[in-house]
C-alpha cells in the first residue's frame, strides 16, 4: 500500500468513485478528500482544506460533463495536469453471493446505461442511485444478496463487496478525462512532449466573429483539439466557448493566434497550460 502524505486532493463523490481512481493515478501519495459536488471540491481547495482538486470534464461515450465548463472560469483555480481514466464497470455483490443470485443492480444512471447488454443478458433490473461509489456503499450496508452495485473495483475493495463480473461495459473504450486543478498557475512548466493550453472566450457581436477568431489558429498551424459553446446566465445570445489547443502561449504560433483571437473577442481567459497526457495518443 502506498503511504499517503499530509497533502490532500479533493474530488466529487464517495471514496471509490472514478474521480478517486483519477486521484490515485495522478497523485498516489496524496490523501483523497471526497466532496458532495464539484462546487464543494473547488471550495475545498479555495478554503485550504485541500491542495488540489480533480474534476471530470468529458467522457468518450457521453460527452461533456454537465456544468463543468461554466464552473472552471469562476473557480479561481488553474489546470496544471490532465488525466485520462479508463472507466471499467464491475458488478459487485455482498460477500458469498454469485452472479446467478443477482436480480437488480444499483448505480448512477449513466453507468446503468453503459451496461445495458450485460444486464439484459442476465435478467438484472436497474435501480438508479445517486452515484457509483455511493451505490456500492449502500449495497454493502443493506446486505441484500439479490442486489448488486455497478462501480469500480476500488469501490468493491473499500466497501467489502465481492467482484461478481469484471469489465461489463458495452463500450470497450469508455474513458473519462479529468483535470487537475491548483490555486497556483504553472504556465512556465514544460513537459518533454506536447503542451496543452485551455481557455475560454466570448466573441464580439459582429458578423462571422467566430470564423474570424478561429482564423489565427488555422493560419499559424495550431491544432485545436476541442471547441465547445455554452450559454452564460441563461441567455440565448451570450455564448462563450471553451477550447483546448496544442502548444504553449509562449510559442510564436500560439502567441500570434491568441493575439488575433483577442481582437475578435470581448474576453479571453487562459484556464491552464499543462503537458498532454499520454492517454491522448
Please say whether the beta carbons of 210 and 204 come within 8 A. Answer: no
Does 178 participate in catalysis according to the annotation? yes
C-alpha cell read off for 279: 492517454
Q: What is the DSSP letter of 279?
A: G
- Give which of 97, 91, 99 is closest to 144, Cα–Cα: 97
Q: Which of 178, 199, 217, 264 is catalytic?
A: 178
Q: What is the DSSP letter of 118?
A: H
Q: Which of 11, 38, 118, 176 is catalytic?
A: 176
> Residue written as cell 471530470?
56
Own/partner long-range contacts of 69-72 (Cβ < 8 Å, ≥24 apart): 69/200, 69/228, 69/230, 69/242, 70/230, 70/232, 71/38, 71/39, 71/42, 72/179, 72/200, 72/242, 72/271
CB proximity list for 152: less than 8 A, separation 6 or greater = 16, 17, 18, 20, 21, 88, 89, 90, 132, 133
Q: How far apart are CA 5 and CA 17, in angstroms?
A: 20
Please say whether the beta carbons of 177 and 82 come within 8 A. Answer: yes
Element (H, E) at 53: strand 52-59
Please say whether the beta carbons of 127 and 189 come within 8 A. Answer: no
Please say whether the beta carbons of 89 and 111 come within 8 A. Answer: yes
Q: How far apart are CA 80 and CA 57, in angstroms?
A: 14
Does 217 participate in catalysis according to the annotation? no
Q: Show which residues are catalytic.
A: 176, 178
Amino acid at each position: 500500500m502506498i503511504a499517503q502524505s499530509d497533502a490532500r486532493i479533493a474530488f466529487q463523490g464517495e471514496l471509490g468513485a472514478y474521480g478517486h481512481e483519477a486521484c490515485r493515478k495522478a497523485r498516489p501519495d496524496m490523501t483523497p478528500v471526497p466532496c458532495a459536488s464539484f462546487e464543494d471540491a473547488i471550495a475545498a481547495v479555495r478554503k485550504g482544506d485541500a491542495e488540489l482538486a480533480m474534476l471530470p470534464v468529458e467522457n468518450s461515450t457521453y460527452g461533456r460533463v454537465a456544468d463543468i465548463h461554466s464552473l472552471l472560469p469562476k473557480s479561481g483555480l488553474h489546470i496544471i495536469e490532465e488525466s485520462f481514466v479508463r472507466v471499467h464497470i464491475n458488478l459487485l455483490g455482498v460477500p458469498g453471493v454469485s452472479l446467478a443470485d443477482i436480480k437488480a443492480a444499483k448505480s448512477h444512471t449513466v453507468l446503468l446505461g453503459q451496461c445495458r447488454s450485460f444486464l439484459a443478458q442476465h435478467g438484472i433490473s436497474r435501480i438508479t442511485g445517486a452515484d457509483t461509489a455511493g451505490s456500492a456503499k449502500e449495497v454493502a450496508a443493506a446486505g441484500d444478496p439479490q442486489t448488486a452495485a455497478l462501480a469500480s473495483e476500488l469501490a468493491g475493495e473499500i466497501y467489502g463487496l465481492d467482484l461478481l463480473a469484471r469489465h461489463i461495459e458495452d463500450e470497450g473504450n469508455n474513458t473519462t478525462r479529468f483535470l487537475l486543478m491548483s490555486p497556483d498557475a504553472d504556465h512556465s512548466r514544460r513537459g518533454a512532449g506536447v503542451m496543452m493550453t485551455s481557455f475560454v472566450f466570448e466573441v464580439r457581436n459582429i458578423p462571422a466573429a467566430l470564423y474570424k477568431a478561429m482564423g489565427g489558429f488555422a493560419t499559424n498551424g495550431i491544432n485545436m483539439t476541442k471547441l465547445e459553446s455554452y450559454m452564460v446566465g441563461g441567455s440565448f445570445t451570450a455564448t462563450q466557448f471553451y477550447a483546448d489547443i496544442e502548444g504553449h502561449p509562449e510559442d510564436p504560433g500560439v502567441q500570434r493566434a491568441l493575439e488575433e483571437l483577442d481582437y475578435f473577442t470581448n474576453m479571453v481567459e487562459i484556464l491552464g497550460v499543462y503537458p498532454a497526457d499520454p492517454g491522448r495518443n
